[in-house]
Amino acid sequence: MMTSQSAAGAGSDRIVGHFIGGEVITDDRRPLPVFNPATGETRCYVAMASSATVENAISSARQAFPAWRNTPPSRRARILFRYKTLLEEHADEIAALITGEHGKVLPDSMGEFLRGVEIVDYACGAPEFLKGEFSKNAGPDIDCWSEFQPLGVVAGITPFNFPAMVPMWMYPMAIACGNTFVLKPSEKDPSVPLLLARLFTEAGLPDGVFNVVNGDREAVDTLLADPRIEAISFVGSTAIAEHIYRTGTKNGKRVQALGGAKNHAVVMPDADIDHAVDALMGAAYGSCGERCMAISVAVCVGEETADAVVGKLAGSLKNLKVGAGTDAGNDMGPLVTGAHLKRVSAYVDLGVEEGAELVVDGRGLSVAGHEDGFFLGACLFDRVEPSMQICREEIFGPVLCVVRVDSLEQAMAIIDAHEYGNGACIFTRDGEAARFFTDNIRIGMVGVNVPLPVPVASHSFGGWKRSLFGDLYAYGPDSVRFYTHRKTITQRWPSDGVREGARFSFPS
């Protein structure tokens, strides 16, 4: 094991380690390659933490907890303010790291980073959201108040698709609330979370308050089993989310586990079709479809609507620029790994076998100068049936399915019957239809002429059905509830000499 201030090695031999107790630790057991998705080359390696390394991180967080718990929220907020400034100073570096390991185009990397910084902004309000509730004279000489106390050591486990933003959904609020944190990010793009942690220390965060361990199932199992972990926030695929929720809660932990998605956009006959098509282009193919809020099914009401949407999408896709995320002007980068490219391509093959009409086929795309990159061109299926596997399962790639229906009610029935309930939107000019849709659809985040209705930092993020296990959503006001225990204190200071004697009825 070696310790240094930065990741060990140079070039592709570099090993991304862990951040424990304010230090970068390189535990080089079973290092896994991290790819540059645009070239297919190995960029560096990431250390897979052993159980002992994870336990060290938990010990470090546990040790830091008492002092951090007792640090006034206003002092915590001051560190968060400095952190926000530092993050903004490193914005270009962070965006470049995201693009280097995830593959998304640079403006998209910057966009995800800025949405993460919004949560740091919100967390700076700790003195306000932790001030509690107070009732003077709740009874004779009795005051009653509720306060929000931190839980202790909490953990976050995050997916590859937003290596900056999703961790930032968790640790800024958890830490602002007085907890200490252990983050287990995705092994596919591990460098950004490590930099986020180092910058927090630079901003003045005491050692041990924020720790990062890189790893796989062994690290996650250790977090799930260790009784010192009070709560777990998870974001990733539904199968793993369900496993984390069931195991974590069985072990007595508070758990919120956000899972996969299949998000539908309803296009009504009265919609501004050009606006809807522009929105669908960004929402279906942005970030190569690797977003939990990506639109992957367009449900078109009426044959004319469907013909217009499919025709205009096919036309727009001819101009979609696919290439390295670092090249200015590209709209869509590669998929994250070669394995994921194979998986998404197999879904396109399956759609053809299932009988859907492949209007635009992105398979076999080669990008000049990046022949070994993990590229797949945009794919568009028409005449997809809701029963087809390509419509039921999350593909997580640049594949949009068009389903044709006769009415809004039919569109809504398809969405409601789907196992996922993360996001959905409607394109229309009809206020009544929009209101009926937002009121009745069984979905957690809903857009009206907004394709990616990702809530701003002051609202919480979460889906319904099998897109979320647990009761509280990510960030926003729900995160204060998730990362704290409510304690209610009822206090009486009887006036001198007043003695009421014993009472045997329930106090009222």
Please pick, from the candidates 217, 321, 442, 486, the single residue that binds ligand NAD as defined by CB under 6 A.
217
Distances, alpha carbon 448 to alpha carbons 273, 301, 433, 453, 461, in Å: 14, 16, 10, 8, 17
By CB under 6 A, how many residues form the interface with ligand NAD? Answer: 27
* Catalytic residue list contains 292: yes
Residue nearest to ligand NAD (CB): 236
Q: Nearer to ligand NAD by C-beta: 362 or 463?
A: 463
Residue 166 near ligand NAD by CB under 6 A? yes
Residue 467 near ligand NAD by CB under 6 A? yes
CA distance 168 to 285: 24
Q: Nearer to ligand NAD by C-beta: 22 or 260?
A: 260
Q: Nearer to ligand NAD by C-beta: 258 or 313?
A: 258
CA distance 381 to 358: 5
Helix (H) or strand (E) holding 25: strand 23-26
Q: Nearer to ligand NAD by C-beta: 201 or 422?
A: 422
Applying CB under 6 A, which part among 84-92, 104-112, 159-167, 382-390 lies near ligand NAD?
Answer: 159-167
Residue 189 near ligand NAD by CB under 6 A? no
Q: Nearer to ligand NAD by C-beta: 113 or 396?
A: 396
Compute the least distance from the CB of residue 202 to ligand NAD, in Å. 25
Compute the least distance from the CB of residue 235 to ligand NAD, in Å. 5
Residue 386 near ligand NAD by CB under 6 A? no
Residue 233 near ligand NAD by CB under 6 A? no
Place of tokens 């390394």: 53
Q: Is residue 224 within 8 Å of 240, Cβ to Cβ?
A: no
Residue 49 near ligand NAD by CB under 6 A? no
Applying CB under 6 A, which part among 38-46, 158-166, 312-320, 489-497 lies near ligand NAD?
Answer: 158-166
Site for ligand NAD in 413-452 (CB under 6 A): 422
Distance of CA 323 to the CA centre of its chain: 25
Other Cβ atoms within 10 Å of 169 Cβ, number: 26
Q: Is residue 178 within 8 Å of 71, Cβ to Cβ?
A: yes
Please pick, from the candidates 16, 123, 157, 408, the single residue that binds ligand NAD as defined by CB under 6 A.
157
Q: How many C-alpha atoms does 401 have within 13 Å on its Cβ side?
A: 30
Compute the least distance from the CB of residue 104 to ligand NAD, in Å. 13
Q: Which of 309, 293, 294 is nearest to 402 (CA)?
A: 309
Q: Which amino acid is present at 470?
A: G
Other Cβ atoms within 10 Å of 234 Cβ, number: 29
DSSP letters spanning 419-472 = SEESEEEEE-S-HHHHHHHHHH---SEEEES-S--PPPTTS-B--EETTEESSS
Q: Is residue 173 within 8 Å of 204, Cβ to Cβ?
A: no
CA distance 480 to 485: 9
Residue 237 near ligand NAD by CB under 6 A? yes
For β-strands 263-267 and 142-150, DSSP reports them as unpaired
Compute the least distance from the CB of residue 404 to ligand NAD, in Å. 25
Please pick, from the candidates 27, 187, 189, 226, the single residue that binds ligand NAD as defined by CB under 6 A.
187
What six digits make up the tokens of 392?
A: 């039921």
Please pick, from the candidates 396, 469, 482, 483, the single residue that binds ligand NAD as defined by CB under 6 A.
396
Paired strand residues for 257: 234, 469
Applying CB under 6 A, which part among 62-70, 183-191, 378-386, 428-436 lies near ligand NAD?
Answer: 183-191
Applying CB under 6 A, which part among 57-65, 215-223, 322-330, 364-372 lies near ligand NAD?
Answer: 215-223
Residue 101 near ligand NAD by CB under 6 A? no
Place of tokens 């998404």: 344
Compute the least distance from the CB of residue 471 to ligand NAD, in Å. 15
Residue 216 near ligand NAD by CB under 6 A? yes
SS (H, E, C) 100-167: HHHCCCHHHHHHHHHHHHHHHHHHCCHHHHCCCEEEEEEECCEEEEEEEEECCEEEEECCCCCCCHHH
Applying CB under 6 A, which part among 25-33, 37-45, 102-110, 232-240 lies near ligand NAD?
Answer: 232-240
Site for ligand NAD in 269-298 (CB under 6 A): 292
Neighbour-count burial of 387, counting CB atoms closer than 10 A to its CB (0-12 exposed, 13-18 middle, 19+ buried): exposed
Angle at the Cα of 321 (from 377 to 310), degrees rounded to 5? 60
Residue 260 near ligand NAD by CB under 6 A? yes
SS3 439: helix
Residue 220 near ligand NAD by CB under 6 A? yes
Q: Nearer to ligand NAD by C-beta: 191 or 422?
A: 422
Applying CB under 6 A, which part among 87-95, 108-116, 236-244, 347-355 lies near ligand NAD?
Answer: 236-244
Applying CB under 6 A, which part among 34-42, 156-164, 266-274, 377-385 lies near ligand NAD?
Answer: 156-164
Please pick, from the candidates 106, 197, 240, 267, the single residue that binds ligand NAD as defined by CB under 6 A.
240
SS3 266: strand
What six digits make up the tokens of 481?
A: 């509830």
Length of the chain: 508
Distance of CA 23 to the CA centre of its chain: 26
Compute the least distance from the CB of residue 215 to ligand NAD, in Å. 7
Q: Nearer to ligand NAD by C-beta: 98 or 240?
A: 240
Which of 292, 300, 391, 425 does the annotation list as catalytic?
292
What six digits make up the tokens of 183?
A: 């983050």
Binding site residues, ligand NAD, CB under 6 A? 157-162, 166, 184, 186-187, 216-217, 220, 235-237, 240, 258-261, 292, 394, 396, 422, 463, 467
Task: List the catalytic residues.
Answer: 292
